[in-house]
Amino acid sequence: DDPEKLAAFQARIDAGEKIEPKDWMPEGYRKTLIRQIGQHAHSEIVGQLPEGNWITRAPTLERKQILLAKVQDEAGHGLYLYCAAETLGVSRDELTEMLLSGKMKYSSIFSYPTLTWADMGAVGWLVDGAAIMNQVPLQRTSFGPYSRAMIRICKEESFHQRQGYDIMMKMASGTPEQKRMAQDALNRFWYPSLMMFGPSDKDSVHSSQSMAWKIKMNTNDELRQKFVDQTVPQAEYLGLTVPDPDLKWNDETGHYDFSEPDWTEFFEVLSGNGPCSAERLEARNKAWDDGAWVREGMLAHAEKKRALKTA
Ligand code: ACO
C-alpha cells in the first residue's frame, strides 16, 4: 500500500471518522474486518444451537415464547453481520462455505453443551453478558456498517442478558434441587465465558493492529477484567459461588483478582476439538444441505421471471 494513502487513512481513523464501504482502505484492514465480522456472524448463527436445544423443553409456555424470540434474535444478528461483511466484497455464500468447511472460526463458547434448563439461565446471564461487554465498545468501531449493526444488536443482547439473569434468580431461589442446578450451570459456564474474550493479551496476535485501526476498542484482558468485576456481585446476589478459590477483591487495584482459564483447553476448542465442535458443524452442514431445494427453487423462479421480462 502507498505510504501516503496509509497515513491519510490512519489520520481519518485517529480523528474518529467512520470508514464506509466505498472508501479506500488498506487490504489488511479489509481482511481483518472480514475475519472478525464473519466470525462474529458465524457465532450468532451457531449460537442458536445450544439454546435451540431447549425450546421444546422449556418449563412453561411463557419461558418457551421468550426463548424462541431470543433464538430468533440471534438469527437476525447473524444476518445483519453477514450484510456488513458483504459490503467488504465477500459474499454470504462464501462466508457460509468457510464456516461449513471449518476454515473460519466461531466463538469457542458454542462448542460447549447445554445440559439442563439452568444452562439457559447461565447462557443468557454469562454468555450474553460477555458478548455485550465486548460489543458495547464495538458500537464505536471505525467501520460504519459494523458499528451501526452493533447498535441494534446491543439493545437486543441486553434483553437477552436480563432474561438469563431472571431464569437464574428463579432457579437460585427455588427448591434445593433448582439451586443446585443453577450452581452447576455457573460452575460449567464460568471459565468458558472468560475464554470468550480471547487469549491473554500476550498471546493475542491481532490486538495491537486491530486497536490502531479501531476495529477493536479494548484488549482481551481489559474486557475480561471488566466482565469479572461486573459479574461477581451478580453471583453473590444470587447466593451462588463463582468456581474460583483464588477469586478475591483487591483494594489496591480496585478490581477482582481471579484465576485464568485453562488456555490449553481454549486452544483445543479453537482447533475444533471442543466437546460439541463436531456436532455443531454437523448441524450447520445438515441445515445447509436440507435447504438446497429452497435455494434451487428460488433461483429457478428468478430465472423464469427474468426470461419472461426479456421475452
Ligand atoms: N473463540 C474462537 N476463536 C477465538 C476466540 C474465541 N473466544 N478468541 C480469539 N479467537 C481466535 C481469533 O479469531 C484469532 O484466530 P484467527 O487469526 O484464526 O482468526 C486467534 O484466536 C487469536 O486471537 P486474537 O488475536 O485476540 O483475535 P482477535 O483480535 O480477533 O480478538 C475477539 C478476538 C475478541 C473475539 C474479537 O475477534 C472480537 O471482538 N470479535 C467480535 C465479537 C465476537 O465475535 N463475538 C462472538 C461471540 S458473542 C456472540 O455471538 C453471542
**Residue having the nearest C-alpha atom to atom 46 of ligand 1:** 40
Cell of 292: 438446497
Distance, CA 198 to ligand 1 centroid (Å)?
Answer: 6
Q: What are phi and psi of 257, to 5 degrees?
A: -85, 140
Q: What are phi and psi of 249, to 5 degrees?
A: -70, 135
| Most ligand 1 atoms within 8 A of CB, residue of 105, 153, 226 to mutate | 105
Shortest-distance atom of ligand 1 to CA 40: 44
Distance, CA 279 to ligand 1 centroid (Å)?
Answer: 21
Closest by Cα among 247, 260, 126 to 203: 260
| pLDDT grade for 186, boundaries at 50, 70 and 90 | very high
The C-alpha atoms of residue 88 and residue 84 are separated, in whole angstroms, by 7
Q: Which residues line ligand 1 (CB under 6 A)?
A: 35-36, 39-40, 43-44, 47, 105, 107-108, 131, 134, 195-199, 204-207, 210, 216, 220, 270
Distance, CA 216 to ligand 1 centroid (Å)?
Answer: 10
Residues 228/219, Cβ–Cβ less than 8 Å: no
| CB atoms near residue 183 (< 10 Å) | 19
Q: Say which amino acid occupies 255.
A: H
**Residue having the nearest C-alpha atom to atom 38 of ligand 1:** 36
**Residue having the nearest C-alpha atom to atom 10 of ligand 1:** 198
Please calculate the CA angle 76-79-84 and round it to the nearest 5 degrees. Answer: 130
**Residue having the nearest C-alpha atom to atom 22 of ligand 1:** 204
pLDDT tens per residue, range 50-87: 999 999 999 999 999 999 999 999 999 999 999 999 99
Distance, CA 75 to ligand 1 centroid (Å)?
Answer: 19
| CB atoms near residue 57 (< 10 Å) | 12
Residue 310 is predicted with a pLDDT of 84
Task: Tell me, yes or no, if the pTM score tops 0.90.
Answer: yes
Residue whose C-alpha cell reads 481483518 in the numeric block: 32
Residues 223/197, Cβ–Cβ less than 8 Å: yes
pLDDT tens per residue, range 209-253: 999 999 999 999 999 999 999 999 999 999 999 999 999 999 999
The C-alpha atoms of residue 257 and residue 125 are separated, in whole angstroms, by 21
Residue 311 is predicted with a pLDDT of 75
Distance, CA 59 to ligand 1 centroid (Å)?
Answer: 34
ipTM of the complex, rounded to two decimals: 0.98
**Residue having the nearest C-alpha atom to atom 33 of ligand 1:** 198
